[in-house]
Structures are given as C-alpha cells and as structure tokens.
Amino acid sequence: MRMTLETWIKKAEGYLATDTPPSWADWESDEDHPPGLFAPARCDSRAGTLRPDVGPEFYEWADLILCHQDSHGAAILYQILWRLTHGEKNLLRIKTDDQMRRLELMCRAVVTDIHRMKGFVRFKKILLNGIETYGAWYEPDHFIVPRVAGFFRSRFALMRWVIFTPGGCLFWDCHRLRFGPGLARDPGLRDDYDDLWQTYYKATFNPSRANPKLLRAHMPQRFWKNLPELRGFNSPV
C-alpha cells in the first residue's frame, strides 16, 4: 500500500532531527516514527509542523514518487532530502545526478500512468442496486487512483459512476466521492455503445499510414484487453 506524503514527511523529519544518514534510515517498517537507537521521543511532537525548507517543488515530486509501485521511492527521496539539507541545496537543478535521474524516471512513469488512466477508463452504462450507474474496470500501473479522482469528478459530476481497480474502488454518487476496497477480477461489464466505438475506431484510420510500433509505444498491449475498440485483436494491423 502507498505511504502518504504526511507519513513520509513525519518520518523524514524524525530522521533529520536525529541526524540519521540515509544508509541508517529504515523505510520498510510501518511504524510512524523512526525506530531504533537514535529515535528520541520528541520527534513526534514536531511532526507535520516543521517541513525542512527545501522548496515546494521537492514535495510535489515526493507526492508523485510515493505513488510509484516501487516502494524504494521513500528511501530515494530521503537520500535526496539528506543531500539537499547537507550542502547540496541546488541538487534539484542538477538533472544529470544519478539519484535525481532515477527520481525523474519514476516521476515520469507515475505522470504517464495518471495521464493514461484519464484517457483509457471506459465507462459502461449498468444498473447498480437498481440505479443507472456508469461503471468501469481499470488496471493502473501505480497507486494513482486517488490522484485521478478529481478529473472524473469534475468532468462527470452529474453521472453516478464507479471505477473498479485491483487496488481500490472509487464511487461517485453525484454528491460524495468514496473509496472502497479493490476488486480481484474484471467484473466483465458490457455496453451497447462499445460496438459503435469499435466501428468508429476501425473507420477513422488510414491503412496506408499503419505504424504498429508507434501504436504499441503509446498504448502498450497490456491495456488492450480493457479497451473495447481493441477487443478481439491481437494486432489491429
């Protein structure tokens, strides 16, 4: 499960306060405060009030990195924070630094995933407890569902909708957004407009310009099974 930014900041502040270098910091355990020899109790009282002043950009990055499915993100962030507060205050500008590059790649993966989810979710008109609802099944690569919620809420505010994902479900009842536990399998929803959409997809492309490599680069094949326009194709060309 994803570590929240608040939890991460609290822990990071604790470690910084006790001058714990990155190689000593433990980001795997679930405890709220830094465990071990060097963690004095006073860490907790300072938590959340004293963000190390490394600029808002760092925290925007941190928020994205913590969405990444690779749980090493928390530790890498602390390495960066440590260096920022130990004489390398311009580190965020140095895009050639190896740790910064790793961070940037992870960040880009999350941003891409967010962008894809906005585009590739496919709603089906269904009845849920007897009420008309637009339901979708989606499998994101990273823990991004909460970050994408606002996009769907503002765009489809007058529709009841639900997005099922393995990591958690998102419900909108026209008033309130709720998060629920994930769904293990594709619920197999169907919609009459899927066929029309596939009809459109087939007709809107010019065969003399076919470029399957580019198609796969933009829309990796693992997404195809949930896209009605590509259902039934191993390769559309």
Partner 1 sequence: MELSEKLTILSDAAKYDASCASSGAQRRRPVNGLGDARRVGVCHSFAPDGRCISLLKLLFTNYCIYDCQYCINRVSSPVRRAAFTVDEILTLTVEFYKRNFIEGLFLSSGVMVGPDHTMEKMVEAARRLRLEHRFGGYIHLKVVPGASPELVREAGRWADRLSANIELSSQEELDRLAPGKTHQNIESSMSQIQRVIGPRQDQDRGKRPQGVLVSGQSTQLIVGATPAPDRLILEKADRLYKRFALNRVYYSAYSPIPHESGDLPSARVPLMREHRLYQADWLMRFYGFRVEELVSQQHQNLSLRQDPKMSWALAHPEFFPVDVNAAPREMLWRVPGIGVRNAMRIAGIRRYHPLRLGDLKKLRVAVKRARDFIITADSMPMRCPSRLVEPDRPRKTGETQLELFEAPVSAVTGEF
Size, binding site for partner 1 by CB under 8 A: 55
159 binds partner 1 (CB under 8 A): yes
Beta pairing partners, 7: none
- By beta-carbon proximity to partner 1, the closer residue of 188 and 207 is 207
- Which of 55, 119, 150, 180 forms a contact with partner 1 (CB under 8 A)? 119
94 binds partner 1 (CB under 8 A): yes
185 binds partner 1 (CB under 8 A): no
Q: Give dist(CA 230, CA 141) in Å, integer.
A: 19
Residue 161 CB, shortest distance to partner 1, in Å, is 9
Q: Which helix (H) or strand (E) holds 216?
A: helix 212-218
One-letter amino acid identity for 22? P
Q: Give dist(CA 139, CA 45) in Å, integer.
A: 39
- Which of 70, 72, 205, 231 forms a contact with partner 1 (CB under 8 A)? 205
Residue 114 CB, shortest distance to partner 1, in Å, is 11
196 binds partner 1 (CB under 8 A): yes
Contact between 48 and 98 under an 8 Å Cβ cutoff? The reply is no
- Please classify residue 102 by burial: count the beta carbons closer than 10 Å to its beta carbon, then call 0-12 exposed, 13-18 middle and 19+ buried: middle
162 binds partner 1 (CB under 8 A): no
Q: Give dist(CA 171, CA 63) in Å, integer.
A: 23
155 binds partner 1 (CB under 8 A): yes
One-letter amino acid identity for 165? T
Q: How many residues does the chain have?
A: 237
Q: Give dist(CA 169, CA 186) in Å, integer.
A: 12
207 binds partner 1 (CB under 8 A): yes
39 binds partner 1 (CB under 8 A): no
SS3 212: helix
- Which of 175, 176, 185, 213 forms a contact with partner 1 (CB under 8 A)? 213
219 binds partner 1 (CB under 8 A): yes
Residues engaged in binding partner 1 (CB under 8 A): 90, 93-96, 98, 101, 115, 118-125, 134, 136, 152, 154-159, 191, 193, 195-197, 199-215, 217-219, 227, 229-230, 236-237
